[in-house]
Amino acid sequence: MASLKDISVACGVSVATVSKALNDHKDIGEETKNNIRRVARELGYSPNLSARALKTNRTYSLGVLFMDEAGSGLQHDYFASVLNSFKRAAEKHGYDITFVNDCKDRPGRMSYLEHCRYRGFDGIFLACVDFVSPEIIELMQGDIPLVTIDYVFNGRTSVVSDNILGMHDLFSYVYSQGHRKIAYITGAASGVTENRLASFYHTAEEFGLTIPEEYVREAAYRDTNTTYHITKELLSLKDVPTCILFPDDYSALGGINAIREMGLRIPEDISIAGFDGIGVAKLLEPQLTTLEQDAEQIGFIAARELIGLIEHPKTTLKEMYVVPGRVIPGRSVARLN
């Protein structure tokens, strides 16, 4: 196997220059870097990760803890997009990611904090977990750098989608299309849900609308079965809403099935809108109106800040980053006179 010295001889530069080039140091020119990388590939050079870990006191490995209550895993379009963006950004900085196993029922299992220490993770990325569980709180109070998604924990860096502004913008769009009877199937209890629901009521108040109590129902995220039944109930009310907002795009599929089963048309008879901006929303007919969350930016910021906490712990601030989304009009909301 080729060594750094072999590469330095072949390139006519010092071993230090080779090392800096392979580690992408800014004080080495791009032309020199590219030449050294090319020679390294030709010589079959492979870095010794164990040696690098001893030298830098880092493993260049990040733990990812991701669990959603619906058990959809990486089929959850929004979080899958966030994780994919996080992965790409981390890999550009030379980090590998490993999912942390959830073995709650295994006898004698280690806690999440113990497991992450055992695996030697330089940092941890938490998304869609039960943030109030004792094990997660222990992990967040531990000594390993970490970043959370859509949850704010004191003294930790978090990246959150702007759910308050997002719901405000989505409601405002529906209102601008002439709708005054707006129902909302809200998600299961969480910080995200609370912010969206409060924003829903606050925006309605801004426009001078009173939302009937029976217009607001609850369903777990991605629960098409529950949204199917709730949609039928909403459309059977004496005072039928003209538009229904769903907790997420995927759960809107349940509502769409109910609407079509009742012989109604979207948006001629009933308007609907989702939340997330997942790929399936753009493929529906009519295209679903939704609030698209910027999953790409959320994942990128999470990786950038986590690596900053690892590599520059004294100068990287622990902050909350709020990422705005945007309304995708679609064709599922009718314009009323």
The whole-angstrom separation of Cα 305 and Cα 100 is 20
Strand (E) or helix (H) holding 232:
helix 224-234
Structure tokens at 303: 């990786």
pLDDT of 165 reads 97
Burial code (b: 16+ CB inside 10 Å, e: under 16) for 102-117 equals eeeeeeeeeebbebbe
- Which pairs with CB-CB distance under 8 Å and at least 24 residues apart come from 106-115? 111/135, 111/138, 111/139, 112/65, 112/136, 112/138, 112/139, 113/138, 113/139, 113/142, 113/144
Half-sphere CA count of 320, side-chain side, radius 13 A: 11
How deeply is 185 buried, as exposed, middle or buried, from its count of CB atoms within 10 A (0-12, 13-18, 19+)?
A: buried
Write the class of the CATH domain 163-293.
Answer: alpha beta
pLDDT of 23 reads 77
pLDDT in tens, the chain (337 residues): 678 888 999 999 998 898 888 877 888 899 999 999 899 888 888 766 555 555 556 788 999 988 765 555 566 788 889 999 999 999 998 899 998 866 555 556 788 898 898 889 999 999 877 788 888 899 999 999 999 998 888 889 999 999 999 999 999 999 999 999 999 999 988 889 999 999 999 999 999 999 999 999 999 999 999 999 999 999 999 999 999 999 999 999 999 999 999 999 999 999 999 999 988 888 899 999 999 999 999 999 999 999 999 999 999 999 999 999 999 999 999 999 8
Note whether 61-161+295-324 and 163-293 share their fold: yes
Residue pair 166/172 in contact (Cβ under 8 Å)? The answer is no
pLDDT of 191 reads 85
Domain range summary for the chain, segments of one domain joined by +? 4-47, 61-161+295-324, 163-293
| Helix 4-11 vs helix 30-42: crossing angle, to nearest 10 | 120
Identify the bridge partners of residue 292 per DSSP, sorted by sequence position: 276, 326
State the DSSP string of 303-319.
HHHHHHHHH-TTT----
pLDDT of 129 reads 78
Identify the bridge partners of residue 147 per DSSP, sorted by sequence position: 125, 157
Residue pair 252/226 in contact (Cβ under 8 Å)? The answer is no
Strand (E) or helix (H) holding 229:
helix 224-234
Write the CB contacts of 120 (distance below 8 Å, at least 6 apart in sequence).
Answer: 53, 59, 61
Identify the bridge partners of residue 64 per DSSP, sorted by sequence position: 99, 125
pLDDT of 189 reads 84
The whole-angstrom separation of Cα 122 and Cα 64 is 11
The whole-angstrom separation of Cα 37 and Cα 272 is 53
Torsion, CA 81, CA 90, CA 122, CA 100, rounded to 10: 30
What does CATH list as the number for 4-47?
1.10.260.40
The whole-angstrom separation of Cα 52 and Cα 196 is 46
What does CATH list as the number for 61-161+295-324?
3.40.50.2300
Taking alpha carbons only, the member of 212, 265, 202 closest to residue 234 is: 212
